[in-house]
Amino acid sequence: NAGVTQTPKFQVLKTGQSMTLQCAQDMNHEYMSWYRQDPGMGLRLIHYSVGAGITDQGEVPNGYNVSRSTTEDFPLRLLSAAPSQTSVYFCASSYFGGGTGTLGAEAFFGQGTRLTVV
Amino acid sequence: KNEVEQSPQNLTAQEGEFITINCSYSVGISALHWLQQHPGGGIVSLFMLSSGKKKHGRLIATINIQEKHSSLHITASHPRDSAVYICAVKRSDFGNEKLTFGTGTRLTIIP
């Protein structure tokens, strides 16, 4: 089925470990983004990309790296996990929204990754 | 004060009731999104609005740019509408890329 595939669904890490959250879409969307969702807070943008080879920081980028070597894939890397990175992570994709690169009229989200750092 | 405020935070209603969820924002915007987060955690985009009103099935979204307010209505509510509904605004500041999200309204429809 077309859409956004995000893996893994659950992950437990020890402090200091690194890992990569995978995100892939098959809709040829230019815009992809990573968000984290914490209790009592709205979704917050970590990093985003407006096309292959182009990435930029969002609201809460520290401790995370991204790359966009292809249109389809936008992995999120945690370099050295910290308990403060315990959260639910969502990847999203859409066509360009209004020309400035945020979510377009029809955005698709992955199923989320529940990450716990102990 | 958050830039995007949703009300109510929690809403419980009987099946068949007309539901209204509100979103108020304090910044200039170029667009507003309504999203639905299912109990399992998945997020679905419902609407993107920049003016007026949009309708999809039993869902209606309206926006009043002058009053900085949007509403999401659900007619003939059903237990499967139980979810968290999230409002997000795209600021109209030049070069500002990010969306600002509300904290969501948890809707529970009782059969």
User: How many residues in chain B?
Assistant: 111
At B68-79, the pLDDT tens digits run: 999 999 999 999
pLDDT given for residue A31 in this prediction: 87
Taking Cα atoms as reference points, which of B66, B65, B88 lies closest to residue A103? B88
Q: How far is Cα B7 from Cα B12, in angstroms, rounded to an integer?
A: 13
Q: How far is Cα A12 from Cα A94, in angstroms, rounded to an integer?
A: 29
CB-based burial label for A111 (10 Å; 0-12, 13-18, 19+): middle
CA quadruple B54, B56, B57, B60: dihedral sign: negative
Q: How far is Cα B39 from Cα B84, in angstroms, rounded to an integer?
A: 8
Q: How far is Cα A14 from Cα A116, in angstroms, rounded to an integer?
A: 8
Instruction: Inform me whether the pLDDT recorded for B98 exceeds 70.
Output: no
Query: What SS3 string covers chain B?
Result: CCCEEEECCEEEEECCCCEEEEEEECCCEEEEEEEEECCCCCEEEEEEECCEEEEECCEEEEEECCCCEEEEEECCCCHHHCEEEEEEEEECCCCCCCEEECCCEEEEEEC
Q: How far is Cα B31 from Cα B89, in angstroms, rounded to an integer?
A: 6
Interface A:B, Cβ pairs < 8 A = 72
User: How many residues in chain A?
Assistant: 118
Name which of B97, B100, B102 is nearest A101 (Cβ-Cβ).
B97
Q: How far is Cα A14 from Cα A1, in angstroms, rounded to an integer?
A: 34
Report the 10 Å Cβ neighbour count for B55. 12
Decide if A42 and B103 are in contact by the 8 Å CB cutoff.
yes
Taking Cα atoms as reference points, which of A54, A62, A69, A58 lies closest to residue A22? A69
pLDDT tens, per residue, chain A with 118 residues: 569 999 999 999 999 999 999 999 999 988 899 999 998 888 999 999 988 999 999 889 999 999 999 999 999 999 999 999 999 999 999 876 544 445 666 788 999 999 999 9
Residues of chain A in Cβ contact (below 8 Å) with chain B: 40-45, 48, 56, 58-59, 88, 90, 92, 94, 97-98, 100-109, 111-112, 114
Decide if A58 and B97 are in contact by the 8 Å CB cutoff.
yes
pLDDT band of B107, cuts 50, 70, 90: very high
Residues of A in contact with B4 (CB under 8 A): 42
State the smallest CA–CA distance between residue B47 and chain A in angstroms. 7
Instruction: Taking residues B7-16, report their average pLDDT.
Output: 98
What are the tokens at B2?
């958050």
